Structure 1
Amino acid sequence: MRFKLRPSDDAFYEFFSKAAANLVRGTELLNELALPGADVQSISERLVEVEHDSDAITHELYKKINTSFITPFDREDIYRLGSLLDDVMDHLEAVGSLLYLYGLTKLPSLPREVHEIVDVLDQQAKLTAAAMPRLKTMKDLSEYWVECNRLENEGDRAYRMLLVRLFSGEYDALTVLKMKEVADELEAACDAFEHVANTVETIAVKES
């Protein structure tokens, strides 16, 4: 029988769950942004608000760590997980802002691969949001990080195909430069979700 030596403080798990729920809101807004006739400015502004909310959650998490004598698992891992969740949100917000500021939603249609990567991000966000509450028991988490890593590979394939399309001559040079920056942020978001999953795996192994 394994004895739990550290007390449970639900506040930490609530911070992680709130941060992950914001990621779901972020990917939902990216999906809205890509729809024909979308109010691009309004959606982009809402995405910025969600990003600010995520920043506030991260700061509160750090404050909680610094004022807690005992934490449910290693402080360094709590810092890292909180920071990585915030990194994902930063990349999602960057995608929305660039699409709006560069006027890319005015194209006849965004490349199919952009929609594919956003769909991957949406799946990763929902997986992450479902996994965060399970940190409290450290149970049933392996399927989460395995699937999140599989999705990251799927996102990488879509990213490579997006690059092929961008450099095929289908778009003018300026659009290619703008879209390449968006593509890089999309890939970074996929990678950031994988980093979150890898950190959760590390925590679970340490606590097992």
Structure 2
Amino acid sequence: MFGRLMPREGRFFELFNAHAEQMVFAAKELALLMEGEGDPQAHIQAIDSREVRADGINQEVLALLHRTFITPFDRDEIHQLISAMDDIVDAIQDVAESVTLYNVDTYSADARQMANLTLSCCERVKHVVSLLDDMKSAPDMMRTCREIEQLEGDCDRVMRTAISNLFRKETDAMKVMRLSSVYQVLEKITDCCKDVSKHVESIVLESV
């Protein structure tokens, strides 16, 4: 009887999905920024706004974790998952801050390709997170995790090519330094996505 009166599960899955939605919105704004579509400052401000919302959802998950008696899966996994998801949005914001700091206003084909890869990666994170409330979807989740890891590898290869192109073709040392930094932060987004996929894989393996 006591167990039935204690708080259960709460809105964890709803909050995971809400956070993932902010992540994808931010990734779309970043891709538009790199494509040179619309007002750059509007895209940067939109990214900042999504980061604030995502951070609020992260805090809500942590607060819910403290007051919930029975959680859908291990408490540490919930904490690590939402923290890893929040790292993705923070990394997207880091790119926006970097291009502002370095006054970058034009982007190479490599940068645009990386931005599109990060968007694809974030969309798959959103998809895999949406399946967490039903372990019957375990095969789909594991397949999506592999796709995320593949995209991370693709982005890493594009980053290495981009930096190589910079050193071979660009004569302005300061520009090389600034753009190299932007490329590295862009690639970090997919690294963070891969971290989420690892947490999801762990949750699935412990639950099925």
CA RMSD of aligned residues (A): 1.5
Matched, 1:124 2:126: no
Q: Name the counterpart of 1:4.
A: none
Stretch of structure 1 that moved more, 27-36 or 80-89: 27-36
The aligned residue for residue 188 of structure 1 is 188
User: What is the rounded CA distance, in whole Å, between the counterparts of 1:93 and 1:25 in structure 2?
Assistant: 12
Residue aligning to 1:112: 109
Q: 1:126-170, CA deviations, whole angstroms, 9 ceiling, x for partnerless residues?
A: 111112121011212111101111111101110110110121142
Task: Name the CA distance, whole Å, in 1 between partners of 2:97 and 2:171.
Answer: 21
Q: Is the 8 A contact 2:170 2:176 kept in 1?
A: no
Cα distance, 1:37–1:87 mapped onto 2, change above 3 Å: closer
Relative to its length, the structure with more helix (as a share) is 2
Q: Structure 1: which 5+ runs fail to align?
A: 1-6
Question: Paired residues, what number?
Answer: 199
Q: Is the deviation greater in 177-186 or in 49-58?
A: 177-186
1:160 aligns with 2:166: no
Q: Distance in 2 between matches of 1:46 and 1:28?
A: 10
Partner of 1:201: 201
Instruction: State the one-letter code of the partner of 2:88.
Output: V
Q: How does 1:29-178 map to 2 (within 5 A)?
A: 29-36=29-36, 38-105=38-105, 107=106, 110-138=107-135, 139=137, 140-178=140-178
CA shift in 2, pair 1:18/1:171, >3 Å: farther
- Work out the CA distance in 1 between the residues paired with 2:151 and 2:201: 16
Contact 2:9 2:68 in 1 (8 A): no
> How far has the Cα of 1:116 moved from its partner?
1.0
Conserved in 2, the CA contact under 8 Å of 1:95 and 1:182?
A: yes
Q: Distance in 2 between matches of 1:30 and 1:92?
A: 7
- The percentage of aligned residue pairs carrying the same residue is 27
What's the CA shift for 1:189? 0.7
Conserved in 1, the CA contact under 8 Å of 2:10 and 2:64?
no
Unaligned runs of 5+ in 2: 1-6
Q: Aligned letter for 1:195?
A: D
Paired amino acid for 1:63 = A
1: CA distance between counterparts of 2:164 and 2:178? Answer: 15
Q: Helix, strand or coil for the counterpart of 1:70? A: coil
> Quick one: which amino acid aligns to residue 115 of structure 1?
R
| 3-state SS, counterpart of residue 34 of structure 1 | helix
TM-score under structure 1 normalisation? 0.91
Q: How far does the alpha carbon of each residue in 1:101-128 deviate from its partner, in whole angstroms, 9 at most, with x for none? A: 32211x4xx1211111111111111111
- 1:42 is displaced (CA, Å) by 1.7
